[in-house]
Amino acid sequence: MGDEEIKAIEQSAPRVRWLARIVLLWATLILFRLVQLQVVRHNDFRHLAQQQQEHIIEVRPPRGAILDRNGQRLAMSLPVESIYVNPLLIPNIDVAADLMAPILNLDRSRLDADLHECVQKHRGFLWIKRKAPEEEADRLRNLHVDWIQFVTESRRFYPYGTLAAHVVGSVDSDGKGLGGVERKLNDVLGGKPGKLLVTEDVRQRGFESEQYGAPAQPGHDVHLTIDARIQYIAEEMLRDTVVAHHCHTGSAVVMDPRTGKILALASYPPYDPNQPVRNEFERKARFNQAVSVPFEPGSVFKVVTLSAALETTNLRPESIIPTGHGAMTFFGRVVHDSHNGPAAMSMEDVLVHSSNIGAINIGIRVGKEHLYEYIHRFGFGQRTGISLPGESPGLVFKPEHWRPSSIASVPMGHELLVTTLQLARACAVIANGGYLVKPQLLEDAPVQSKQILRPQTVMTMRHMMEQVVLRGTGRNARLIGYSAAGKTGTAQIVDLQTHHYTHFYNASFMGFSPVANPSLVVAVTANGAAGTSGFGAEVSAPVFKEVMTASLRFLEVPRDLPDDALPVPDDGKNETNDLAIADLSDPTLLVPPEEAAGDSDGDQQGIFVPAANQVSGPQAPNFIGMTARAVAELSAQTGIPVESIGTGLVRQQYPLPGAVLPAGERVRLRFAR
């Protein structure tokens, strides 16, 4: 290397050194800034990053579904989109209204007014539509407009519409139960919300999430005892009869008498829980007529009266009860029966032909204390405890509040209020061997029952109630292929404003089938029927027949009548008049009762027919165990007419051997192999 070159290098060294110093200084500044940002201000920026990236979102668990006993979904929830906007960010309110209104099927002028109002009041939030259908939300989302925001909410769907609406209930816009099981079991169905800490990147894509606080608890599904098929039949038949007979309301209950499980609970008028309440009529339609609206039962209540008589007196089905040819004097007033009849009849016939005067005499014989005791035993005047809100306990006055004439009204089912559910439960006592069961709507609820009647009382009542269907006022309830038992009832409705009984009726029927081993109980009530076609036998008994027939088929209950059963002979009688006379009832008692004035022994003021007026006639022979040929021979020999059902040997006979046979009556025989 030459001297000149070395000299040139030596001349450029200071410049290189200065360049190196500048670079070093720059690097030092960068390093210093790095330390300041990542060490000194670490917490500040970390906090800022957390604010930007981490969000706490509330997790609302899906509401549990409501299913029937076969797993059919009666109510379920789906996530849907709700749409909101910040009106202050909308560039043009009118254009926004024009854009959103047709897509969301909203009133354009109202939407425009709401948006303008928010802008004037500086409100930064406005719901456009909550829980919109998926198609509408998708169409709006595809517009890719940044001032339209979406939030996921849960919407309740009722796939079967009006079916079992009064049992299932509905929810409000916030998903809270409003009625029915939705309200009663709101805590079970709703679950508990939780919170989630979500970390998102700059494009708001989440890459980490963890539970924040207490975990969300999803709602539990609820399995009901309701059978959707039976419920549908019950609602259809109830609707048809209410409409056909111009009634106001109606209700029906189908129950398993042994477990108390409710297979159907229908109420008319119906409502659709998918729709909000729009007027007063729809609001009243949400009343559960079967559970919340009590009424005077009328003649169906004679079942309770006669049960009490069998338990507390020496009266038997063949005991003769005076009926005074359809008119008698009680407490200074002449009371007329709903139809003319003999001077006396057997206790069984009192029930079969629904004799009011006979029932009054039986009630007097029982006495008000015993009668009240058995009314209470049958569960009247108390809530059943069913899993539905707004249950009415009905109204039963204590004996000390009874008027002197009450002993004549109560046995006929007046001066007290009951619900259709209570009637079904009372009928179940007869059907299940004497046990008062608690009605159940939940499939996994334990069976609760207590014995209130002796088995022999129950067997006797079953037989008498079967006769009601075979030859009494309940003929319209006869089933094909199954035996049935029941009682009709027709009670005048009181006008609480004028305190007078009207000529509108509560038409009822309660019964069970098959008779020997009852599988189902059905109670039907229609309120507001009128005229001779408004009696329980005409209005409610046919509903019982249709509902029971379908229900027994659905549940595959074996037929209990033999295939070659002889049809019950039609004697030409059309006994549908079972009107419970309200002449002795005091309609003012159906408001808060006043203290009863007068003699507290008023129940002794009833009149018994003297023994001299008792019916006389031939005694029924003993046909038990005879063949048909032998029966025919004996009948011809004694001149006593017989009426036969079935084949084989005589197993049952009414009246019993040795009982007095009233004039014009025949001995009824049931044959079986």
Q: Which residues are catalytic?
A: 299
Residue 326 near other proteins by CB under 8 A: no
Whole-angstrom CA distances from 349 to 316, 354, 473, 513, 647 are 11, 7, 11, 21, 25
Residue 641 near other proteins by CB under 8 A: no
Q: Quick one: which of 530, 553, 607, 649 contacts other proteins (CB under 8 A)?
A: 553
Q: Quick one: which of 90, 96, 148, 228 contacts other proteins (CB under 8 A)?
A: 228
Q: What is the dihedral of CA 450, 451, 452, 454, to 10 degrees?
A: 180
- For the bound state, the minimum distance from the C-beta of residue 199 to other proteins, rounded and expressed in Å, comes to 8
Report the residue number, 79 or 213, with the smaller CB distance to other proteins.
79
CA–CA separation, 90 and 483 (whole Å): 73
Chain residues 95-134 in contact with other proteins, contact rule CB under 8 A: 134
Report the residue number, 24 or 78, with the smaller CB distance to other proteins.
78
Tell me which residue of 175, 222, 289, 208 sits closest to 523, measured CA to CA. 289
Report the residue number, 61 or 593, with the smaller CB distance to other proteins.
61
Chain residues 251-270 in contact with other proteins, contact rule CB under 8 A: none
Residue 565, Cβ neighbours under 10 Å: how many?
Answer: 17
- For the bound state, the minimum distance from the C-beta of residue 152 to other proteins, rounded and expressed in Å, comes to 9
Report the residue number, 106 or 163, with the smaller CB distance to other proteins.
163
- For the bound state, the minimum distance from the C-beta of residue 527 to other proteins, rounded and expressed in Å, comes to 25
Cβ neighbours for 307, distance < 8 A, ≥ 6 positions apart? 374, 378, 429, 430, 453, 457, 461
Cβ neighbours for 482, distance < 8 A, ≥ 6 positions apart? 513, 514, 548, 549, 552, 557, 559, 560, 561
Write the interaction track for other proteins spanning residues 144-173; mark x where CB under 8 A is met and - where it is not: -------------x-xxx-x----------
Residue 215 near other proteins by CB under 8 A: no
CA–CA separation, 329 and 350 (whole Å): 18
CA–CA separation, 272 and 250 (whole Å): 17
The H-or-E segment that residue 628 falls in is helix 628-638
Report the residue number, 516 or 630, with the smaller CB distance to other proteins.
516
Two tokens at 626?
């005879």
DSSP string of 267-309, one letter each residue: EES---TTS---SHHHHHHTS-HHHH--B--GGGGHHHHHHHH
Q: Quick one: which of 482, 505, 509, 512 contacts other proteins (CB under 8 A)?
A: 482
- For the bound state, the minimum distance from the C-beta of residue 229 to other proteins, rounded and expressed in Å, comes to 6
Q: Quick one: which of 222, 479, 485, 589 contacts other proteins (CB under 8 A)?
A: 479
CA–CA separation, 653 and 657 (whole Å): 8
Write the interaction track for other proteins spanning residues 193-212; mark x where CB under 8 A is met and - where it is not: ------x-----xxxxx---
Report the residue number, 248 or 559, with the smaller CB distance to other proteins.
559
CA–CA separation, 195 and 198 (whole Å): 10
Two tokens at 77?
């929830």
For other proteins, which stretch binds (CB under 8 A), given 336-344, 458-466, 550-558, 629-637?
550-558
DSSP string of 85-134, one letter each residue: E-GGG-S-HHHHHHHHHHHHT--HHHHHHHHHHHHHTT---EEEEEEE-H
* Coil, helix or strand at residue 534: helix
- For the bound state, the minimum distance from the C-beta of residue 72 to other proteins, rounded and expressed in Å, comes to 7
* Coil, helix or strand at residue 365: helix
Evaluate whether 414 touches 582 at the Cβ level (below 8 Å).
yes
- For the bound state, the minimum distance from the C-beta of residue 111 to other proteins, rounded and expressed in Å, comes to 28
Report the residue number, 138 or 571, with the smaller CB distance to other proteins.
138
Residue 220 near other proteins by CB under 8 A: no
- For the bound state, the minimum distance from the C-beta of residue 345 to other proteins, rounded and expressed in Å, comes to 33
Tell me which residue of 560, 479, 567, 481 sits closest to 522, measured CA to CA. 479
Q: What is the 3-state secondary structure (H, E, C) of 431-454?
A: HCCCEEECCECECCCCCCEEECCC
For other proteins, which stretch binds (CB under 8 A), given 34-42, 107-115, 339-347, 551-559?
551-559
Cβ neighbours for 627, distance < 8 A, ≥ 6 positions apart? 649
Residue 554 near other proteins by CB under 8 A: no
- For the bound state, the minimum distance from the C-beta of residue 34 to other proteins, rounded and expressed in Å, comes to 16
579-580 and 485-495 strand pairing: parallel
Residue 673 near other proteins by CB under 8 A: no
Report the residue number, 89 or 480, with the smaller CB distance to other proteins.
480
Residue 563 near other proteins by CB under 8 A: yes
Residue 568 near other proteins by CB under 8 A: no
- For the bound state, the minimum distance from the C-beta of residue 196 to other proteins, rounded and expressed in Å, comes to 10
Show the CA angle centred on residue 295, arms to residues 291 and 299, nearest 5°.
Answer: 115
* Coil, helix or strand at residue 236: helix
Report the residue number, 72 or 149, with the smaller CB distance to other proteins.
72
Chain residues 500-539 in contact with other proteins, contact rule CB under 8 A: none
Q: Quick one: which of 69, 383, 559, 666 contacts other proteins (CB under 8 A)?
A: 559
Chain residues 351-370 in contact with other proteins, contact rule CB under 8 A: none
Show the CA angle centred on residue 281, arms to residues 231 and 391, nearest 5°.
Answer: 55
Cβ neighbours for 64, distance < 8 A, ≥ 6 positions apart? 188, 189, 190, 191, 218, 219, 220, 221, 222
- For the bound state, the minimum distance from the C-beta of residue 205 to other proteins, rounded and expressed in Å, comes to 7
Tell me which residue of 178, 400, 136 sits closest to 288, measured CA to CA. 178
Evaluate whether 586 touches 408 at the Cβ level (below 8 Å).
no
CA–CA separation, 399 and 406 (whole Å): 9
Report the residue number, 74 or 350, with the smaller CB distance to other proteins.
74
Residue 376 near other proteins by CB under 8 A: no
Report the residue number, 564 or 601, with the smaller CB distance to other proteins.
564
Number of residues lying near other proteins (CB under 8 A): 36
- For the bound state, the minimum distance from the C-beta of residue 226 to other proteins, rounded and expressed in Å, comes to 12
Residue 380 near other proteins by CB under 8 A: no
Residue 469 near other proteins by CB under 8 A: no
Q: Quick one: which of 86, 313, 448, 549 contacts other proteins (CB under 8 A)?
A: 549
Chain residues 48-87 in contact with other proteins, contact rule CB under 8 A: 62, 72-73, 76-79
Residue 648 near other proteins by CB under 8 A: no
CA–CA separation, 622 and 645 (whole Å): 16
Q: Quick one: which of 60, 129, 166, 229 contacts other proteins (CB under 8 A)?
A: 229
Q: Quick one: which of 270, 326, 390, 481 contacts other proteins (CB under 8 A)?
A: 481
- For the bound state, the minimum distance from the C-beta of residue 148 to other proteins, rounded and expressed in Å, comes to 21
Report the residue number, 563 or 601, with the smaller CB distance to other proteins.
563
Report the interface residues with other proteins, using CB under 8 A.
62, 72-73, 76-79, 134, 157, 159-161, 163, 199, 205-209, 228-229, 231-232, 236, 479-482, 549-550, 552-553, 556, 558-559, 563
